[in-house]
Structure 1
Amino acid sequence: MTLRPLARAALALAVTVGIGAGAIAVATSAQAAPAVHYAALGDSYSSGVGAGPYDVSGCLRSNRSYAPLWAAANSPDSFRFVACSGAVTADVLNRQLSALDAATTMVTISIGGNDAGFADIVINCRLGSESACASAVNRAEQFATNELPGRLDATYAAIKQRAPNAQLIVLGYPRLFEETRNCGLLAVSLTKRTIINDAADLLAEVTAGRAAAAGATFVDTRTQFTGHGVCGATPWLNDFSALIAAYHPNAAGYRDGYLAALNTVTG
């Protein structure tokens, strides 16, 4: 069959359009997923204190913390792990922001507990009287109410400025204790445990409020750790005998507590 010039031109156009459409479809279906550049900032609850073993940085960073566990499971295009034991908001501002840039797409952080003096609370409540414990908690609660919000606002704003394209995920702290009637002969009393847990609730509320104001995502770990505090049947937190790791998550706490909670907002 011989095609007339007009028919041949129409056929050529149809083939060209068809090939072009096919090429577009193939390109669309093969489009790469967005790059993920993850930076993990924060204090000991992010560095992995309690899980061990630790690197040689002096910050007590552990690969069993939630951040490296998330990175191992999700294979981000880059991962920077700069969380450091003992960090306060000023340390994040002065030492950790260098891990961020315009390419960063995801930032996680736990911060504020050291600013509020929770280490002092634990020492006073573990070794002192109930009145000494109550006084220490009261001081921390006043700080958390009056001073901490401004420090958190400044920290979150600096992160947003340094990494304007990143999702900022703020992870809270769990309640430390189960409020069981009995918790061993040398354990913290029920009264002290209740006081400390109430302070943890206040800290979570303050942090959640400031995170929301900054446009960040707050991850409340209290629900995840329910039933797994110190004095629980299957604790995910180390007790006082763990020395520097006392009242920090153990490996199960970072994996089944923090990582599981983080997964609820990252998919």
Structure 2
Amino acid sequence: MPHRPLARALTALVALLTAAVGALAVPGVAQAAAPIHYVALGDSYSSGVGAGPYDLSTCLRSQKSYAPLWAAANNVASFRFPACGGAKTADVLDDQLGSLSATTTMVTITIGGNDAGFADVMTDCRFGSTSTCTNAVNAAKAFATGTLPGRLDNTYAAIRERAPNARLIVLGYPRLFETRYCGLLAMSTYKRTILNEAADVLAAVTAERAAAAGATFADTRPTFAGHGVCGAAPWIRDVTGVIEASHPNADGYRYGYLPALNAVTG
């Protein structure tokens, strides 16, 4: 009998602790308590080239890109958007890192395509001979496997240094083409195939270096599958715009890039 008050006290304490642990486990509680301070870095695939309309800068930033779409959907505490069309790794280091700080909690980036000569390769393949295209693609692949890894490592390390408390998410580039026949004016199936193979090489290199930096890699190739140039419902622009060619359209950012980002952020 004398032990009953102690037993009741212990039972009450266990119940209280169980309730407290249960409250901490409720989905969304931790996220609601931690404000998101998001910075979107990178090149034209981050700034939203192809989606339009653009801001008044020379960076061609669009609110229809995946970054502002994600920020709006997740009610972030702050959002900074220094991503710029045409950016290379050096441009990120020189011009974009100023948006980062110790309070930044999430960083996204697409980078590396311009370092590898993306625009020139596309021009060589779209308007040049098969051999010209092949040589350009091979040179880009060699750069991607030989020189680009070191540049990516330096870029990711610099981001880590400026934003030590942030989660770094590296988004890849999609394959740009479907390889079915789509008319006499289209690039040959061979050219489209080797360009897609080059995209695979770039994705593999980027994923490897992102993992080495402790970052999360978001692969956009699965979400864009079936929606490349020559697809029935393409999310990639062909030669309809000089600057926008070979970039996602608004649907590509919303239904290709945004789901890939959502898949890794939950």
- Give the TM-score, by structure 1 length: 0.89
Which secondary structure does the structure 2 equivalent of 1:135 belong to? helix
Mapping 1:9-158, distance limit 5 Å: 33-158=33-158
Q: What is aligned with 2:176?
A: 176
Structure 2: which amino acid aligns with 1:208? A
Partner of 2:219: 220
Residue 245 (structure 1) aligns with: 244
Q: What is the identity percentage for the equivalent residue pairs of Structure 1 and Structure 2?
A: 69
1:183 deviation in Å?
Answer: 1.4
| Alpha-carbon shift at residue 65 of structure 1 (Å) | 0.1
Cα shift readout 1:201-224 (whole Å, capped 9, x = no counterpart): 000000000000000000010011
Equivalent AA in structure 2 for residue 54 of structure 1: Y
Separation (CA, whole Å) in 2 of partners of 1:183 and 1:91? 37
- Structure 1: gaps spanning 5 or more residues: 1-13
Deviation track 1:166-193 (CA, whole Å, cap 9, x = no partner) reads 000000000000011x112211110100
The ranges of structure 1 where at least 4 consecutive aligned residues each deviate by more than 4 angstroms after the TM superposition are 28-32
Partners of 1:136 and 1:240 in 2: CA distance? 19
Question: 1:221-245 CA deviation, whole Å, 9 max, x = no partner?
Answer: 0011000000000101001122210
Number of aligned residue pairs:
247
Q: Distance in 1 between matches of 2:182 and 2:243?
A: 21
Where 2:210 maps in the other structure, the secondary structure is helix
Find the aligned partners of 1:71 and 1:113 in 2 and give their Cα distance.
Answer: 24
Q: Distance in 1 between matches of 2:126 and 2:243?
A: 14
- Tell me the TM-score normalised to structure 2 length: 0.89
What is aligned with 1:194? 193
Letter in 2 for 1:51: A
C-alpha distance in structure 1 between counterparts of 2:113 and 2:152, whole Å: 11
Matching residue's letter, 2:123: I
> Could you list the per-position Cα deviations for residues 42-100 of structure 1 after superposition, in whole angstroms to 9, with x for gaps in the alignment?
00000000000000011000000000000111111000001000000000000000000
SS in 2 for 1:199: helix
Give the 3-state SS of the residue equivalent to 1:40 in structure 2.
strand
**What letter corresponds to residue 101 of structure 1 in structure 2?**
S
The aligned residue for residue 164 of structure 2 is 164
> 1:35 Cα deviation (Å)?
1.2
For residues 96 and 240 of structure 1, what CA distance do their matches in structure 2 show? 29
Structure 2, unaligned stretches of length 5 or more? 1-8
- Root-mean-square deviation (CA, aligned residues, Å) is 1.9
Measure the CA separation in 1 of the matches of 2:141 and 2:265.
Answer: 31
SS at match of 1:242: coil
**Structure 2 SS opposite 1:107:** strand
**Structure 2: which amino acid aligns with 1:197?**
N
CA radius of gyration, larger in: 1
